[in-house]
Amino acid sequence: MSGERGQSALRLGRHDFGPERLLVMAIVNRTPDSFFRPGDTWDERAAIGRVHEAIAGGADIIDVGGVPAAPGPDVDPAEEIRRTAGFIAAVRDAYPDAVISVDTWRHEVAREACAAGADLINDSWGGWDHDLAAVAAEFGAGLVCSHAGGLRPRTRPFRASYADVVADVLAHTGKLAARAVEVGVDPARIVLDPAHDFGKNTWHSIEITRRLAELTATGWPVLVSVSNKDFIGETLNLPLPDRVAGTLATTAVCAWLGARIFRAHHVLQTRQTLDMVSAIRGDAPPARAVRALA
């Protein structure tokens, strides 16, 4: 697997990341009602505290979101901008070199976020807003092209079915990536995300994990966002606070199959999991190896 080097370059912010680099994208939600630890980083000071902690824990990317994925009270673009743009500017001030992404599907929000310093537009909703890619092009930012099964943002899948879910993911994300290139997004800044749980039941999310190599074989860098999600909860029959082991197991499998960016709540554990996979792949040496060597 470590021989899979048909991978293209990945450029985020001012950094170039080779295919051997496994990147942790730390989730920092500027929301009162996200599914995991709701309201935890709603307060701006708590949020910047989370950023410090994430960077110290080995995060490569800070992903700032202002709207939960689940249905709930409406958050209009103005409010989403209010929640994210100023905060992104604050993170940029504190960490001039960090890669910052904005978790949004809306082009209006993406524009303000990029103006404030975001390097990557993380759209989990499958390109619902057709004007999003143009914003990435305009600012020289990156774009995550995801598969949400055609769902309208902030809706839940209802009896989703696919003749072949992986084929659907490949077709949709491939089309979004091609369109992004067409409107001028730097190809080295385009990332694919199969979007676990989005427009999918648990079996579908497991299938896209099992067959992730089909997505990484496209050569586009692949992001996976699996942290604490429902498919892990359903697979292990565990509530939200108990999904860390399932999250890390899934993370390891995805890394082995060639994913390069890992969106995570538990930064330190994710970093350790990925460092272990890197060592097993032969991409990085052990931190300290003296056992039976003395």
Partner 1 sequence: MIVAAALCPAAPLLVRALTGTDPAVPELRAACLAAAAELGAAAPDVIAVVGTADRSASWNAEWTLDPAVFAPGSRGARAADAAGRTPSADLPAALGVGAWLLDQAGCRGDRILRSVAHGEPAASCASTGAALATAGERVALLVMADGSARRTLKAPGYFDERSAGFDASVQDAIRSGRLDMLLSVDAGLACELMATGRPAWQVLAGALRGRKVTSEVRYCDDPFGVAYLVASLRAADTEQKGDRGARAG
Q: Which residues contact 8 (CB under 8 A, 6 or more apart)?
A: 187, 188, 219, 220, 221
Q: Which of residues 161-190 bind partner 1 (CB under 8 A)?
A: 161-166
Query: CB of residue 150 vs partner 1: minimum separation in angstroms?
Result: 13
Stretch that binds partner 1, among 47-55, 78-86, 153-161, 267-275 (CB under 8 A): 153-161
User: 138, 137, 133, 112: which is closest to 123 by C-alpha?
Assistant: 133
d(CA 119, CA 187): 14
Task: List, in sequence order, every residue forming a beta bridge with 103; answer none if it has no partner.
Answer: 65, 122
What tokens does 141 get? 């930012």
Distances (CA, A) of 130 to 115, 174, 183, 185: 19, 15, 11, 14
Pick the binder of partner 1 from 7, 201, 270, 273 (CB under 8 A).
201
Stretch that binds partner 1, among 8-16, 94-102, 231-239, 282-290 (CB under 8 A): 231-239
The number of angstroms, rounded, from the C-alpha of 33 to the middle of its chain's C-alpha atoms is 19
Q: Does 219 bind partner 1 (CB under 8 A)?
A: no
Stretch that binds partner 1, among 45-53, 74-82, 87-95, 198-206 (CB under 8 A): 198-206
Pick the binder of partner 1 from 4, 53, 108, 234 (CB under 8 A).
234
Pick the binder of partner 1 from 77, 115, 155, 188 (CB under 8 A).
155
Residues in the chain: 294
Pick the binder of partner 1 from 14, 159, 288, 291 (CB under 8 A).
159
Q: Which residues bind partner 1 (CB under 8 A)?
A: 71-72, 155-166, 201-204, 206-207, 210, 234-235, 237
